[in-house]
Amino acid sequence: MRSRSSYQQQQERGFFFNVDWAIIFVYLALCTIGLLNIHSAVYDDKHPSFFDLSTDYGKQLIYIIVGSVVAIFILLLESRFFSALAPVFYGITVVLLMLVLVVGRNVGGNQAWISLGGGFRLQPSELAKLTTCLLLARYLSGTNIRITDPKSFMISLAIIGFPMVLIMLQPDAGSTLVFSSLIFVLYREGLSPYFLILEGLFITLFVLTLKLNNTAYIIGALIIIAIIIVWFTRRNKKILPVIATGLGICIAFVFCVHFIYTSVLKPHQKVRIDIVLGITTDIKGKGYNVNQSKIAIGSGKLWGRGYMQGTQTKYSFVPEQGTDFIFCTVGEEWGFAGATVVLGLYLFLLLRIIRVAERQRSTFTRVYAYGVASVIFFHVIINIGMTIGIVPSIGIPLPLISYGGSSLLSFTIMLFILVKLDSNRMGIV
Amino acid sequence: MNSFFERRYVIAGIFISLIVILLARLFYMQIIDDRYLLYAQTNALHKVYKNPARGPILDRNNKILVQNEAFYDIMVTPNLVKPFDTASFCKLLGIDKPEFDKRFEKAKKYSPRLQSPFEKQLSAEAFAAIQERLSEFPGFDASPRYLRTYPDSVAAQFLGYISEVNDKDIEKSGGYYHLGDFIGVTGVERSYENVLRGRRGVEVDLVDSRSRFKGHYANGAYDTAQVAGERLISSLDLRIQKLGEQLMHNKVGSIVAIEPSTGEILCYVSSPTYNPNLLVGHERGNNAAELYKDPYKPFFVRPIQATYPPGSSFKPLSALIAMQEGIITPQTTYNCPGYYWSGNHRVNCFHGEVHGVVNLASAVAESCNGYFSWVFDRLMNYNGAKQTASTFTNWRGNVAKFGLGSRLGLDMPSEGKGNLPTAAHYDKIYHTGGWRSSTVVSLAIGQGELLATPLQLANIEATIANHGFYYKPHLIKGIGDKEIIKPEYRVRNYVGIDSQYFEPVINGMQAVVDHGTAVGSKISGIVMCGKTGTAQNPHGEDHSVFVAYAPRENPKIAIAVIVENSGQGATWAAPIASFIVEKYLRDSITSRPNGMTPEYIMNANRLPALENYYQGPKLTLPPAHKDTAKHKSDSAEKKAAIGSGRKKGKSKYSTSAYQLERSEDEEQK
Question: Over its length of 429 residues, how does chain A's per-residue pLDDT go in tens digits?
Answer: 444 445 554 454 555 567 888 999 999 999 999 998 888 887 766 666 666 777 788 888 889 999 999 999 998 888 888 889 999 999 999 999 988 888 766 665 566 677 766 566 778 888 899 999 999 999 998 878 888 888 888 999 999 999 998 888 877 777 888 898 998 998 888 888 888 888 888 877 877 777 777 788 888 888 888 888 888 887 877 778 888 888 888 888 888 888 887 777 767 666 666 655 666 655 555 567 777 888 888 888 888 877 877 777 777 777 777 788 889 889 988 999 999 999 999 999 999 999 999 888 888 999 999 999 999 999 999 899 888 877 777 778 899 999 888 889 999 999 999 999 888 776 544
Measured distance CA(B11)–CA(A370) in Å, rounded = 9
User: What's the pLDDT band for B256 if we cut at 50, 70, 90?
Assistant: very high
Question: Reduced to 3 states, what is the DSSP secondary structure of residue B260?
Answer: coil
Query: CA angle B371-B372-B375, nearest 5°?
Result: 90
Answer for the pair B660, B288: CB distance below 8 angstroms, yes or no. yes
Phi-psi region of B232 (alpha: psi -120 to 50; beta: other; left: phi over 0): beta
Q: What is the largest CA-CA distance in chain B?
A: 145
User: What's the pLDDT band for B100 if we cut at 50, 70, 90?
Assistant: confident
Which chain A residues touch B41 with a CB distance below 8 Å?
299, 311
Q: Which residue of B has its CA nearest to A313?
A: B208
Q: Is the pLDDT of residue B653 over 50?
A: no
Q: What integer pLDDT is reported at residue A119 of this predicted model?
A: 61
A:312-331 residues touching chain B, CB 8 A cutoff:
312, 314-317, 331
Q: Which contacts of B363-366 are long-range, i.e. CB under 8 A and separated by 24 or more positions?
A: B363/B315, B363/B319, B363/B334, B363/B508, B364/B315, B364/B316, B364/B319, B364/B505, B364/B507, B364/B508, B364/B509, B364/B511, B364/B512, B364/B516, B364/B531, B365/B508, B365/B509, B365/B511, B365/B512, B365/B515, B365/B516, B365/B517, B366/B516, B366/B517
In order, the DSSP letters of B396-454 are HHHHHTTTTTS----SSSS----B---HHHHHHHH-TT---GGGGGGGGGT-TT-BB-H
Query: Is A194 an interface residue toward B (CB < 8 Å)?
Result: no
In the beta sheet, which residues pair with residue B535?
A: B543
How far is residue B15 CA from its own chain's centroid?
A: 76
Comparison of pLDDT for B506 and B78, the residue scoring more: B506
Answer for the pair B622, B658: CB distance below 8 angstroms, yes or no. yes
Question: Reduced to 3 states, what is the DSSP secondary structure of residue B81?
Answer: coil
CB contact under 8 A, A312 and B40: yes
Judged on CB neighbours under 10 Å (0-12, 13-18, 19+), B574 is: buried
Please name the amino acid found at residue B579: F
User: What would the mean pLDDT of B181-201 be, rounded to a whole number?
Assistant: 88
CB contact under 8 A, B209 and A317: yes
Answer for the pair A326, A398: CB distance below 8 angstroms, yes or no. yes
Measured distance CA(A418)–CA(B423) in Å, rounded = 110
Which chain B residues touch A314 with a CB distance below 8 Å?
208, 214
Q: Is the pLDDT of residue B549 over 90?
A: yes
Please name the amino acid found at residue A14: G
Residue B477: phi and psi, rounded to 5, are -100, -10
CB contact under 8 A, B31 and A301: yes
Q: What integer pLDDT is reported at residue A269 of this predicted model?
A: 64
CB contact under 8 A, A315 and B19: no
Residue among B118, B166, B103 nearest B624 (CA):
B166
Chain A: give the shortest CA distance to residue B204, in Å: 14
Measured distance CA(A313)–CA(A187) in Å, rounded = 40
CB contact under 8 A, A288 and B644: yes
Q: Name the residue facing B12 among A292, A354, A388 (closest C-beta).
A: A354
Q: Is the pLDDT of residue B558 over 90?
A: yes
Q: Please give the helix or strand (H or E) that residue A246 lies within, else none.
A: helix A239-259
Q: Any alpha helices (H) in B111-159, and if so which ranges? A: 124-134, 156-159
Question: Reduced to 3 states, what is the DSSP secondary structure of residue A79?
Answer: coil
Express each pLDDT in B371-403 by its tens digit. 999 999 888 888 888 888 889 999 999 999 999
User: What would the mean pLDDT of B525-536 be, rounded to a whole number?
Assistant: 89
In the beta sheet, which residues pair with residue B216?
A: B205
**Residues whose CB falls within 8 Å of the CB of residue A175, separated by 6 or more in sequence, listed in order:** A112, A125, A126, A128, A129, A167, A396
Answer for the pair B448, B309: CB distance below 8 angstroms, yes or no. yes
CB contact under 8 A, B37 and A299: yes
CB contact under 8 A, B36 and A370: no
Residue among B44, B580, B198 nearest A310 (CA):
B44
In order, the DSSP letters of B178-196 are -TT-EEE-SHHHHHTHHHH
Which chain B residues touch A335 with a CB distance below 8 Å?
30
Q: Which residue of A has its CA nearest to B20?
A: A343
Measured distance CA(B14)–CA(B168) in Å, rounded = 59
- Whether the bond into B295 is cis, omega within 30 of 0: no
CB contact under 8 A, A354 and B646: no
A:110-129 residues touching chain B, CB 8 A cutoff:
none
Cα dihedral angle (B28, B34, B35, B37), rounded to 10 degrees?
110
Residue among A103, A142, A150, A108 nearest A124 (CA):
A103
CB atoms closer than 10 angstroms to residue B16: 13
In Å, how far are A28, A363, A369 from A376, measured between CA atoms? 15, 20, 11
Question: Reduced to 3 states, what is the DSSP secondary structure of residue B607?
Answer: coil
Q: Is the pLDDT of residue B367 over 80?
A: yes
Q: Which of A311, A316, A320 to mutate to test the interface with B (most CBs of B within 10 A)?
A: A311
Which chain A residues touch B22 with a CB distance below 8 Å?
343, 381, 384-385, 388, 390
Residue B6: phi and psi, rounded to 5, are -70, -10
Which chain A residues touch B23 with a CB distance below 8 Å?
339-340, 343
In order, the DSSP letters of B203-239 are EEEEE-TT--EEEEGGGGTT-B--BPPPPEEES--HH
The overall average pLDDT reported for chain B is: 83
User: What's the pLDDT band for B113 if we cut at 50, 70, 90?
Assistant: low
CB contact under 8 A, B30 and A339: yes
Q: What integer pLDDT is reported at residue A108 of this predicted model?
A: 58
User: What would the mean pLDDT of B558-577 be, rounded to a whole number?
Assistant: 90
Please name the amino acid found at residue B330: P
Residue among A30, A20, A99 nearest A383 (CA):
A30
Which chain B residues touch A298 with a CB distance below 8 Å?
29-30, 33, 35-37, 39-40
Query: Is A148 an interface residue toward B (CB < 8 Å)?
Result: no
Which chain A residues touch B19 with a CB distance below 8 Å?
343, 346-347, 380-381
Q: Name the residue facing A336 among B26, B39, B45 (closest C-beta).
A: B26
CB contact under 8 A, A339 and B26: yes
CB contact under 8 A, B30 and A390: no
Q: What integer pLDDT is reported at residue A65 of this predicted model?
A: 92
Residue among A246, A218, A394, A238 nearest A320 (CA):
A394
CB contact under 8 A, A381 and B19: yes
Question: Reduced to 3 states, what is the DSSP secondary structure of residue B280?
Answer: coil
How far is residue B326 CA from its own chain's centroid?
A: 42
Express each pLDDT in B267-316 by its tens digit. 999 989 999 988 887 778 888 888 888 888 899 999 999 999 888 889 99
Express each pLDDT in B432-484 by its tens digit. 888 888 888 888 888 888 999 999 999 999 999 999 999 999 999 999 888 88
Q: Name the residue facing A189 among B4, B22, B207 (closest C-beta).
A: B4
User: What would the mean pLDDT of B187-196 be, rounded to a whole number?
Assistant: 91
Query: Is A385 an interface residue toward B (CB < 8 Å)?
Result: yes
Chain A: give the shortest CA distance to residue B630, in Å: 24
Question: Reduced to 3 states, what is the DSSP secondary structure of residue A372?
Answer: helix
Q: What integer pLDDT is reported at residue B641 of this predicted model?
A: 33
Measured distance CA(B544)–CA(B205) in Å, rounded = 62
Please name the amino acid found at residue B20: V
